[in-house]
Amino acid sequence: MVSGNDEGRSVTLERMESPVRIGWIGTGVMGLSMAGHLIRAGHSLRVHSRTRARAEPLIALGAQWADSPADAAADAAFTFSMVSMPADVESVHLGSAGTLQTAPRGSIVIDMTTSTPALAAQIETRARERGVAALDAPVTGGDVGAREARLSIMVGGDEEASARAESLLRLMGKTVILHGPAGSGQLAKAVNQILIASTMVGVVEGLALAQKSALDPRKVLESVGAGAAGSWTLANLAPRMLRGDFAPGFRIEHFVKDLGVALEASEQVGLSLAGTELAHRLYTSAMAAGLADRGTHALAAVHPSR
């Protein structure tokens, strides 16, 4: 049993053999599906988003509405966030109506947004001061992975807290790995985004050559996808590029933010990443061309120049 905090509230965290009370903030493209898995597993959710209408599908499944992140976190054993930008993460957890205003002593706050290692460490420090554990747990796998509970989840933070949260995380993802102390999950996600960026540029340029050379790009995909060039991006996003289907699984504006985080992290350890810098410039140009809300594969619409 964990002793009460200064407001007299506490929670006891056991392995999840029975339903627990969960606060959830963020019901975007991925957050909506992720929260839905928790509800369907029998857990009780209190959900908040900037626009209530976005949370209605969860409310229809039995979730309760929360007027603020603080309201969502009050009396919750676990509080998750899946929002857009680091500024949103900071407001959700550290703001005047943030989760750490009300999260009970002994509870765990888990941010699944792709944010910055420094902010993850700051949240962990503030949480610890209140007797609350904090994990950074960004994900990869896109909208499909979120819908099918096949995400890969990269965790940073306390080992015991990670172990306690693991059964919930595994309701959303197939791979859950603790990488180290607070901020480590964000660093692992930065590596992921670097790999995606370089691969995406290669796919776009390869398909451009196939099309300009009068090859059938679908036959080319069939050939190269079966060899060493095969990848998730090639298999899942290249066909959408060819169809001109640029609906977002992950938006370009968010990817530009992520690549900025990756470049900042690389600079801090003395690395110069030319390929990532190029991808960041290309995606920034795509934003300027009006594609900020399109999927990352919409790079094919603007690069290489036709």
For the record, the structure tokens of 181 come out as: 């102390």
CATH code where residue 173 lies: 3.40.50.720
Q: Is the pLDDT of residue 243 over 60?
A: yes
What average pLDDT does the segment 76-97 reach? Answer: 97
Q: Which residues contact 178 (CB under 8 A, 6 or more apart)?
A: 155, 156, 157, 159, 162, 184
Which tens digit of pLDDT belongs to each residue from 112-167?
Answer: 999 999 999 999 999 999 999 999 999 999 888 999 999 999 999 999 999 999 99
- The active-site residue, picked from 174, 189, 219, 257, is 189
For residue 29, what pLDDT is reported? 86
What average pLDDT does the segment 71-90 reach? Answer: 97
Q: Do residues 166 and 108 touch, judged by C-beta distance below 8 A?
A: no
H or E, element range at 202: helix 184-212
- Residue 17 pLDDT grade (very low, low, confident, very high; cuts 50, 70, 90): low
Half-sphere exposure of 297 (CA within 13 A, CB side): 21
What average pLDDT does the segment 100-118 reach? Answer: 97
Q: Which among 91, 114, 146, 137 is positioned nearest to 256, based on CA atoms?
A: 114
Q: How many whole angstroms separate alpha carbon 154 and alpha carbon 131? A: 23
Q: Is the pLDDT of residue 286 over 90?
A: yes
Looking at 182, 206, 223, the residue that finishes a domain is 182
One domain, residues 228 and 288: yes
For residue 7, what pLDDT is reported? 44
For residue 55, what pLDDT is reported? 97
Structural domain of residue 219, as residue ranges? 188-301
To the query of whether residue 189 is one of the catalytic residues in this protein, the response is: yes
For residue 305, what pLDDT is reported? 57
Looking at 149, 182, 215, the residue that finishes a domain is 182
One domain, residues 199 and 229: yes
One domain, residues 74 and 57: yes
Q: Do residues 93 and 81 touch, judged by C-beta distance below 8 A?
A: yes
CATH code where residue 225 lies: 1.10.1040.10
Q: Which residues contact 17 (CB under 8 A, 6 or more apart)?
A: none
One domain, residues 173 and 213: no
One domain, residues 200 and 229: yes
How would you class 113 by CB atoms within 10 Å of its CB: exposed for 0-12, middle for 13-18, buried for 19 or more? buried
Q: Which residues contact 298 (CB under 8 A, 6 or more apart)?
A: 246, 252, 286, 291
What average pLDDT does the segment 246-255 reach? Answer: 92
Burial code (b: 16+ CB inside 10 Å, e: under 16) for 21-30 equals bbbbbbbbbb
Residue that is written with structure tokens 């120049």 in the block: 305
Q: Which residues contact 279 (CB under 8 A, 6 or more apart)?
A: 197, 198, 200, 201, 259
For residue 6, what pLDDT is reported? 40
Which tens digit of pLDDT belongs to each residue from 214-241?
Answer: 999 999 999 999 999 999 999 999 999 9
Beta 21-25 vs 44-48: how paired, if at all?
parallel
Angle between helices 252-268 and 274-286 (to 10 degrees): 150
H or E, element range at 162: helix 159-169
Which tens digit of pLDDT belongs to each residue from 174-189?
Answer: 999 999 999 999 999 9
One domain, residues 174 and 41: yes
Which tens digit of pLDDT belongs to each residue from 255-283?
Answer: 999 999 999 999 999 999 999 999 999 99
Q: Do residues 61 and 36 touch, judged by C-beta distance below 8 A?
A: yes
Number of independent structural domains in the chain: 2
